[in-house]
């Protein structure tokens, strides 16, 4: 039944000449790649530091759990299950649950939970974006309905439970140490788990492996690096950087503008260059770990130092 639904959408795409393909690809892309951390960065650096930090942690944890489920159940992509399925674009990793749905529910769901009551139009927009992202993954043929439903449920449940866990950490000084310790422990256990567990080894009629587990594990390494990077980066900033978002509007804009350039250079230049030269796996783990340390601790340290120097320079010029 799930594949029949995808075939129905495929026939609609073919009948309309793919007129909506680009729209749904763009909707899908807004919750992945360079955009995964963009919303969290804007909130964290310039608007609402606490919500931004929660969003970083929430997305990382939910994506980590998503990879655990993917590599546990090892559900093949729709076009592997049926040769009749022709996706608009292919995707990496196993199919269940949908990573885009997890990320969109985590990102948009956090904004909805934080600001939805006071700003109802914004809350409605966030809910629509979650639903559009879910449908987009079906429309372009890379996920089944159950993939996106479970992915979105995981993301939204993470928002709900994460808020309460965040409140527990904040309730008593010293509990913040639990975050990097838990991140390191989860990362180690997850990497051990995916390294020793068994994977399906199915072959086609020509004796060719349908899905190579080694390739499916690559995204798992990256999300393991993300959760370790987020947990440690958050702790380092909280203990040693401690920047404020109570700054002039021009300073906020500058932080976000320069930071956006940093993200794009890292995601669109550095990572493709490195991964094009060497195979993914542990290098993916290192790259995503370093990216989150950069975004949560190193870049904030840099802009606080620059802003402090700029402020002292203005004071001397005024005197």
Q: What is the pLDDT of residues 1-12, one digit of tens each?
A: 789 999 999 999
How far is residue 185's CA from residue 226's CA, in Å, rounded to a whole number?
13
DSSP 241: I
pLDDT above 60 for 207: yes
Is 40:52 a contact under the CB 8 Å cutoff? yes
Q: Can you tell me the mean pLDDT for 134-160?
A: 95
Residue numbers of the domain that contains 89: 2-318
pLDDT category of residue 136 using cuts at 50, 70 and 90: very high
Alpha carbons within 13 angstroms on the beta-carbon side of residue 244 total 6
Q: Can you tell me the mean pLDDT for 132-152?
A: 95
Q: Which token pair is 181?
A: 């310790």
- The proportion of the chain whose per-residue pLDDT surpasses 90, expressed as a percent, equals 68
How far is residue 201's CA from residue 211's CA, in Å, rounded to a whole number?
7
pTM summary value: 0.89
- The 10s digit of each residue's pLDDT in 27-78 is 998 888 778 888 899 999 999 999 999 999 999 999 999 999 999 999 999 9
- The 10s digit of each residue's pLDDT in 64-114 is 999 999 999 999 999 999 989 999 988 888 999 999 999 999 999 999 998
Is 46:224 a contact under the CB 8 Å cutoff? no
Would you mind telling me the total number of residues written for the chain in this entry?
A: 319
pLDDT category of residue 144 using cuts at 50, 70 and 90: very high
Q: Which token pair is 145?
A: 């309905």
How far is residue 296's CA from residue 52's CA, in Å, rounded to a whole number?
10
How far is residue 40's CA from residue 24's CA, in Å, rounded to a whole number?
23
Q: What is the pLDDT of residue 278?
A: 58
Our count of domains for the chain comes to 1
Looking up tokens 């542990």, which residue turns up?
282
**Cα–Cα separations (whole angstroms), residue 272 to 34, 152, 229, 269, 279:** 12, 28, 19, 6, 11
Cα-to-chain-centroid distance, residue 268: 15
Instruction: Tell me phi and psi for residue 209, to 5 degrees.
Output: -65, 125
Closest CA to 54 of 64, 45, 44, 46: 44
């Amino acid at each position: 039944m799930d594949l029949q639904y995808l075939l129905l959408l495929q026939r609609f795409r073919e009948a309309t000449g793919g007129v909506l393909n680009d729209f749904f690809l763009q909707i899908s892309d807004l919750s992945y790649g360079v955009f995964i951390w963009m919303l969290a960065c804007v909130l964290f650096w310039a608007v609402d530091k606490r919500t931004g930090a929660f969003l970083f942690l929430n997305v990382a944890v939910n994506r980590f759990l998503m990879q655990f489920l993917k590599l546990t159940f090892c559900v093949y992509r729709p076009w592997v299950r049926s040769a009749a399925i022709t996706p608009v674009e292919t995707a990496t990793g196993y199919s269940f649950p949908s990573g885009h749905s997890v990320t969109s529910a985590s990102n948009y769901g956090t904004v909805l939970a934080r600001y939805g009551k006071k700003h109802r139009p914004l809350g409605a927009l966030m809910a629509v974006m979650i639903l559009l992202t879910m449908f987009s993954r079906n429309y372009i043929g890379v996920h089944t309905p159950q993939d996106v439903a479970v992915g979105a449920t995981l993301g939204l449940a993470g928002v709900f439970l994460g808020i309460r866990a965040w409140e527990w950490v904040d309730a008593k000084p010293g509990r913040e140490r639990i975050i990097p310790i838990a991140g390191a422990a989860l990362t180690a256990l997850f990497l051990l788990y995916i390294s020793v567990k068994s994977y399906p080894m199915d072959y086609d009629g020509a004796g060719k492996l349908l899905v190579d587990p080694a390739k499916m594990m690559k995204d798992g390494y990256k999300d393991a690096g993300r959760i370790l990077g987020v947990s440690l980066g958050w702790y380092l900033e909280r203990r040693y950087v401690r920047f404020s978002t109570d700054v002039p509007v021009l300073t906020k804009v500058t932080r976000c503008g320069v930071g956006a350039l940093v993200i794009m250079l890292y995601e669109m230049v550095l990572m493709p260059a490195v991964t094009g030269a060497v195979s993914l796996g542990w290098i993916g783990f290192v790259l995503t770990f370093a990216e989150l340390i950069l975004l949560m601790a190193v870049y904030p340290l840099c802009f606080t130092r620059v802003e402090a120097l700029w402020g002292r320079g203005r004071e001397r010029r005024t005197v």
